[in-house]
Structure formats: structure tokens, C-alpha cells
Amino acid sequence: MNTFPLIRTKLSNEHIMAGVFAVLVLYMLPSWIDDPEKIMSFAAVLAVSLVLDSVINHIRFKKTVCSVSAAVTAGIYFNLAAGVPLWGQLLGITAALVVGKHIWGGTGKNIFNPAMVGILFTSVFFNISYPSFNYSWLLLPVLLLSLPFISFRPFASLGFIAGMTAAMIFNQDFSLHNFVSWGVVFWGCLVLTDPVTVSLNPVLGLAGSIAVGFAGLQFSNITLALAVGVVTLNLLSAIADRLPKRENRRAVPKMTIKKIIPYQEGITTFVDLTENEAAVDQTAALPDKVEILKRIGVNGVFGMGGAAFPTINKITATVDSKEASKHLIINAVECDPGLLHDNWIIRHKMDEISKGVDILKRCIEFESVTLAIKAGNMVECPQGMKLFEVPDYYPAGAERILINRVLGKKLSYKDIPSKKGVLVLNVQTVWAIYEAAVKNKKIDSRLITVADMRNKSSYIVKVRLGESIQRIADELKLSSINLFIGGGAMQCRNYTGDETVDNTINFIASGSFPRYKESPQCSRCGFCRANCPEGLMVDRIAQIVDRGDAAAAKRYKPEKCMQCGSCSRVCLAGRNLSARVNAAKATVRS
């Protein structure tokens, strides 16, 4: 069964496009005040575009798909072709949607901006007047409302505005009046920012749009010249985006995600569901190295951060590592937005952690021992450990990212940190090492976080491995029948009704199902790539998997995916992308 983040962006492509549409309508307001008949013309153009788009989408997807993108096309088209007779506008919008969008496969698959295709088509029969807008102070706030859309293609947008402004200055035409009525911001913020047809590539975006903006003003039919320029840039973008780029090389994204329910000392409840603790053989003296390793292995200490691997393997790999300097990093960063129990541990079990570290020091001579915590989670650092504050972003606690931060050491996804002399252990694992080695206690229980998302309450719960999830939910009187379980809020799966707590479960939540609407319309916003800590071309991998050919995604290295869930969380099409990447990863591995 697939995992998915329990929290996801509230925004969707449809919301963004509805925002663009609202701004486009505001651009029309001054002309509607002058000539109210234009309202009816726009209503007709809008109605035709919506009906046409809905019908074609219904035929293609065999279901109703939101047609707000067609409304945006109608809005851009109508603003630029307002002077054309209605029948010409109706033909133009039909050409825009059919030739500009649907013959390519619909929203997200078109190469050219559909409204520009409509403008080119209309220009064959009519002369499209320019400037497109009559100057009105009413347009000034609309310019401001257009600015947020720059964020979708900032280079192309700013490049266009710079190019057009430079041409105005060059021609000694620059004035606020011209800046508004010539539609500098309209084109820059609403046309050149179309993520589907304009590349994210900064060089192409900037250079191409400066050229389009500058050159457009040098022609007599400016609207046509600008449309030709945009379409040319669209074509270059399509070519550039289809070049065999395998990775999105950039710095690790720093996505700040607020805790679903924040930890509050004294308020976050601790619940112990492990009656009848197993009797322990308390050994007075600390055992020797051989005995320590034996106890860690025999007592079944495992990675409590979610990996669940036997810790003894990690420790022995570090012992055997040929690296001259060895390092221990205790990971208490707990960057997942659902988890709280590591925070509880560093506040309540620091003595045990300290003793666990002493045990490990008996086995390995570490050059450094670091306790990595989230910035602001100040705790007193025990002697012999260095406190390292990690900025609050997700996934700051991922092993390789943490090693890079703490030690400045870059490891590839193929490297095994312990073999490179770096032992990274979750803080609960260090506590378990203490219990196993000093108390000779079998590790048959663990701490997990339980979140009741409806009631906004959370619990740190000590449970036995093998405990029924349903029993935990019943004991804590969780408010929803929907239960989710997994490594954290970013990697949950739906509880099926018969599972128990195992080594991989850190988190249980009850609440509403997150809304993944699995829209077939990817807007190529690029958020998934931009937020992937591994720099994967997530949208391309997902597209290939959706075609039913997961093996073909191999060239995009899906095996690098750490299943952090960031891509699914940000996808504006509401798609569980990490599940698709995981499917490709599984195919590559098999």
C-alpha cells in the first residue's frame, strides 16, 4: 500500500487559475464601465470556452474536469482582442482551445500558450488594436494584484518587464500611462508566467523574455509581434525542457512545515501502555565491548527513526570502517511535522542518552559526538557531547543531509554512512542501547507519537511492539474512525484494521483523509522538483509511471528517492507523487 503525507498544501492549480482569472476580469473593469456591452461579449466568449473545454475534457477523461484554465485563456484572449467583433472572438477562442491546447493532449501538455494561438489566429483576419488597455487609475491596484504570479516563472516575468521597459526608455516613450496601457505588467505577470509553456530554465526565461519584451515594441502590430515572440519562447522552452536532463541540481530545498500539534512541556500527555514491564537483569558494572555488542544484538536494538534496521549492523560497520576519524551523530532533529516523542526524550531521558553514548564510546573511538537538535529546542548538553542546532526545515533530519550539515561531509545516496565512519543514531535508539547494554533488557517496546488531528491533542505513548493499533486508538479515545500509521506525518498509510505496532511505526494519527484529488492536469509548476531534496525530476517520473511504464523512469534515478513525501505535499494537481516515484524505484530495484 502506498504512503502519503497527511498534510498537504491547501492550494491547487484550480485555486491559482481562479486567482489569475479574477485578476484578468479586473483588467476588463474600466472598459466595461466605458462600454457595458463588452460584458455580454465577454460572457459569450467565456461561455463558449467553458462549454468547449468541458466537452473535450469529458470525451478525453470520461469525467468532469475543472475548466478554469479555459476561463483563464478566455480572459487573456479577451483582454488583448477586445476590439475584434464578437464572431471573430468566438472563432479565436475556439482556435485557442482546440489548436493551442487540446490537440496537444489538454492542460499541462500543450506547448504553446493557448491564448497566444488564439491571438495569432485572429490576427490573420483582423487587425488587433494596441495599446490593449485604456489608462485608468482603476488599473493601478490590478497591477499590484498581478505581481504575486511572478513567482511561477520569475526570470521570464521580470525579463519581459525589463525588456519592455528598456524598449520604452530607448524609444523615449516611458511614462506611467504607457506602462499601464501597454500592458507591461499584464504580459509579464499573467502571460509570461504560464508554467506550462514557459521554461523554468533561468537563462532561457530571462534572455528569451527580455528579447520578446524589447523586440515586441519595435513592430507596428505590437500585439501580434508580442504573441509571435511568446510563441517562439514557448517553442524554445519546449525544446529545452525535453532535453535529457536527468536531475534538478540545486541546493537542498528548505521547506518549513509547522508541527501539526506542537510539543508543549507539561501539556503534551505521556501515556504508558506497557503494563508488566519485563523483568530486567540489572548489571552493576558496565560490560566490556564484546558483551556490549552482544547485548545490543541479542536484545534486538533497532533504528527507531523509522529505518528499523538492526543497530548492531550499523555499529559493527562503523567499528570495521577504515576511516581514520569516526563520528557519532545523535539525531534528535525530529523534522517530521507529526512527531513529538524525540523532543520528549531529550527533555526527560538525557541521563540515559548520556550513558548510551558512554557505552558506544567503549566500542568505538569517536573523534566527535554530536547531539543534533532542532533550532530553538534548547536542552542542556551533557558533557562529552557537542550540541548542534539544525534549522527548522524538512527533511533536515534525513541522514545524509544531517551529516552534511554537522560534518560538512557530502555522501552520495549509494554511500553507507557507517562504512564511511559516521554513525548516525536516532535519539531513541541511543536510549534503547542503554537499556539493552546496561540493563540487558530486550527491546520490546518503544515510544510513538499519537495525534488526534480533529481534537488537536497529541500523546507520547510507550507501547509494546506487537500492540494492536486499534487498542491504542480505543485507549486514547481518538475521535475519528480514520486512522493513519507510519514513520511520521509525511509518510503515512491508511490503517487497514488488523495491524500492530512494529519497528517502522513511529506515528499514529486519527482525522480526516487528506484531499488528494489526483487531477490528470499537471500545470508544470515545478514545485515537486523544487522541493525534492534529491533533486529528482519528479513530474517526469510520475508522468512515465502514469503511462504504465515505470521501468522507463530508470534514467531519472528514482532509486535516490528517500520517500520524504515533500513532492506529494506540494503538488498543485493533488497527486500522490511519492507513491509514483516509489513504484518506479521498486521497478528499478527488481
Partner 1 sequence: MVRLTMEFFEGNQVLFIGYSEKYQAFCKQVYQAFSNNGIKVYPVNNKDKGNFDVKVYKSLEDLPQIPRTAYVLLNRKSAGKAVKELAEKGVRRILFQNTKNADQSLLEECSRLGIETIVACPMMRFGTGFHKIHGFFAGVRK
Contact 493, 4 (CB under 8 A): yes
Quick check: 197 binds ligand SF4 (CB under 6 A)?
A: no
Among positions 45, 430, 437, 572, the unique one binding ligand SF4 when judged by CB under 6 A: 572
Exactly one of 94, 221, 494, 504 binds partner 1 (CB under 8 A); which one?
494
Task: Compute the distance between CA of residue 232 and CA of residue 225 in angstroms, rounded to an integer.
Answer: 11
533 binds ligand SF4 (CB under 6 A): yes
Closest CA to 72 of 175, 178, 152, 165: 152
| C-alpha cell recorded at residue 517 | 484529488
Q: Find all residues with CB under 8 Å of 449, minimum gap 6, and list them.
A: 338, 339, 340, 341, 458, 459, 460, 461, 506, 507, 508
Backbone angles phi, psi at 499, to 5 degrees: -95, 160
CB of 576 to partner 1, least distance (A): 6
Which part of the chain contacts partner 1 (CB under 8 A), choosing from 277-285, 305-313, 509-517, 535-543?
509-517
Measure the CA–CA gap between 576 and 516, rounded to whole angstroms: 7
Among 232, 404, 468, 482, binds partner 1 (CB under 8 A): 482
Applying CB under 8 A, which part among 73-81, 91-99, 348-356, 480-488 lies near partner 1?
480-488
Quick one: three-class SS letters along 540-571?
HHHHHHHCCCHHHHHHHCHHHCCCCCHHHHHC
Q: Which residues touch 332 (CB under 8 Å, ≥6 apart)?
A: 342, 343, 345, 346, 371, 372, 373, 374, 377, 426, 427
Query: How far is 15 from 7, CA to CA, in rounded Å?
Result: 18
Q: Which residue reads 533533486 in cell numbers?
A: 535
311 makes contact, choosing from partner 1, ligand SF4, none, with CB < 5 to 8 Å by partner type, with none
Q: What is the 3-state secondary structure (H, E, C) of 173-226?
A: CCCHHHHHHCCHHHHHHHHCCCCCCCCCCHHHHHHHHHHHHHHHCCCCCHHHHH
Residue 581 touches ligand SF4, criterion: CB under 6 A: yes
Q: How far is CA 281 from the centre of its chain?
A: 48
Select 484 or 527, whichever has its Cβ closest to ligand SF4. Answer: 527
User: Which residue from 8, 337, 526, 584 is in contact with ligand SF4, where contact means CB under 6 A?
Assistant: 526
Find residue 269's DSSP bridge partners.
459
* Residue 93 binding ligand SF4, by CB under 6 A: no
Residue 194 as a binder of ligand SF4 (CB under 6 A): the answer is no
Name which of partner 1, ligand SF4, none residue 561 binds, using a CB cut-off of 5 to 8 Å depending on partner kind.
Answer: ligand SF4
Helix (H, G, I), strand (E, B) or coil at 368: strand
Q: Does 413 bind partner 1 (CB under 8 A)?
A: no
String marking each residue 44-63 x if it binds partner 1 according to CB under 8 A:
-------------------x
Stretch that binds ligand SF4, among 31-39, 65-73, 349-357, 557-565 (CB under 6 A): 557-565
Output the smallest distance, CB 126 to partner 1, in A. Answer: 37
Shortest distance (Å) from residue 14 CB to partner 1:
11
Q: Locate cell 540487558: which residue?
A: 440
CA 436 and chain centroid, separation: 39
Instruction: Identify which of residues 349 and 575 has a Cβ nearer to ligand SF4 in the complex.
Output: 575
Q: Residue 517, interface with partner 1 (CB under 8 A)?
A: yes
Binding of residue 590 to partner 1 (CB under 8 A): no
578 binds partner 1 (CB under 8 A): no
Stretch touching ligand SF4 by CB under 6 A, among 332-340, 361-369, 456-464, 564-572: 564-572
Say which amino acid occupies 491: Q
Q: Is 2 in the site for partner 1 (CB under 8 A)?
A: yes
Burial 201-214 (b: 16+ CB within 10 A, else e): beebbbbbbbbbbb
Gap between the Cα atoms of 460 and 449, Å rounded: 5
Using CB under 6 A as the binding rule, whether residue 534 contacts ligand SF4 is answered as: yes
234: nearest Cα among 340, 76, 337, 114? 114
| Angstrom distance (rounded) from CA 207 to CA 185 | 18
Does residue 340 interact with ligand SF4 by CB under 6 A? no
Q: Which of 297, 284, 439 is nearest to 356 (CA)?
A: 439
Q: Using the rule CB under 8 A, which residue among 323, 367, 513, 547 binds partner 1?
A: 513
Does residue 516 bind partner 1 (CB under 8 A)? yes
Identify the helix (H) or strand (E) that includes residue 94.
helix 86-100
- When asked if residue 35 is in the footprint of partner 1 (CB under 8 A), the reply is no
Q: Which stretch binds ligand SF4 (CB under 6 A): 158-166, 271-279, 420-428, 569-577?
A: 569-577
- For residue 553, state whether it binds ligand SF4 (rule: CB under 6 A): no
x/- mask, partner 1, residues 312-351, rule CB under 8 A, reads ----------------------------------------
461: contact with ligand SF4 by CB under 6 A: no
> Of 523, 508, 431, whose CA–CA distance to 473 is shortest?
508
522 binds ligand SF4 (CB under 6 A): yes
520 touches partner 1 (CB under 8 A) = yes
Binding at 572: pick from partner 1, ligand SF4, none (beta carbon under 5-8 Å per type): ligand SF4
Residue 94 or residue 543: which is nearer to partner 1 going by CB?
543
Q: Which residues in this chain contact ligand SF4 in the complex, by CB under 6 A?
A: 522-528, 532-534, 536, 538-539, 542, 561-567, 570-573, 575, 577-578, 581
Binding residues for partner 1, rule: CB under 8 A, are: 1-2, 4, 63, 480-482, 493-494, 496-498, 512-513, 515-520, 576, 579, 583
